[in-house]
Amino acid sequence: MSRTLLLATRNAHKLREVKEILAGTDFEVTSTADFPGTPEVIEDGDSFQANADKKARTLAELTGRTAIADDSGIEVDALGGAPGIYSARFAGVDGSGADEANNLLLVSRLQGVPAEERTARYRCVLAVVTPGGEARYTEGSVEGRIVDEAIGDGGFGYDPHFEVTGDPQQRRMAQLSPDEKNAISHRGKALRNLLPLLEELLGPGEE
């Protein structure tokens, strides 16, 4: 069976992260950007896993490729776990201005909340689905807190406002190098947890 994986995203940042994390393995990663006829899958599930499964399953059925999809988001304790599965569309903005709008809304919702109560985590659930419908799931998370001041120009999403728990320099996720981020990130952890399951589903690669 093919060791090529179809990643359910048109997000170049996400594709690059996944390729960096899987570097050194014999899995080749492509994305839905290479399949322009594939539709955008509506993420209407009630959990990260439900959304990830729907995206991967739809693409596997349409393309005949083993598909990987993630649903990721940020959960802020002071907001009852919001924005959660709505992280990408928190402010209701699509396109290039979405990250800025989402961050502005998040910071505004936390005005008056003390620093020690701004705990949050990034969470990622990954689904891999074969053309035959077999599926496996993994997840990963990273703890932090939300700060008002945006620092750093790396990463994407809420990274400039996410101070990583345990970082001795109290850096934002957006200040980490790609290797540092991949080592601790929710997506990095989920992908590393997925590797043995990929071997189980797809069999050994070329010797």
CA-to-CA distance for 50 and 63, rounded, in angstroms?
20
Residue 49 placed within a domain? yes
Which pLDDT does position 204 carry in this prediction? 62
Range of the domain at 150: 4-202
- Both structure tokens of 37: 């006829």
Structure confidence by residue, pLDDT tens digits, 73-112? 999 999 999 999 999 999 999 877 899 999 999 999 999 9
Domains in the chain, number: 1
Q: Is 161 helix (H, G, I), strand (E, B) or coil?
A: helix
Residue 207 placed within a domain? no
Indicate whether 32 pLDDT > 50: yes
Structure confidence by residue, pLDDT tens digits, 44-74? 999 999 999 999 999 999 999 999 999 999 9
Indicate whether 206 pLDDT > 50: no
Q: 99 with 157: CB under 8 angstroms?
A: yes
Neighbours of 81 (CB within 10 A): 15
Q: How confident is the model at residue 205 (pLDDT cuts 50, 70, 90)?
A: low
Report the catalytic residues. 71
Q: What is the CATH number of the domain that holds 22?
A: 3.90.950.10
Neighbours of 42 (CB within 10 A): 10
Structure confidence by residue, pLDDT tens digits, 106-149? 999 999 999 999 999 999 999 999 999 999 999 999 999 999 99
The full length of the chain comes to 207
CA-to-CA distance for 98 and 116, rounded, in angstroms?
27
Report the amino acid identity of residue 194. Answer: L
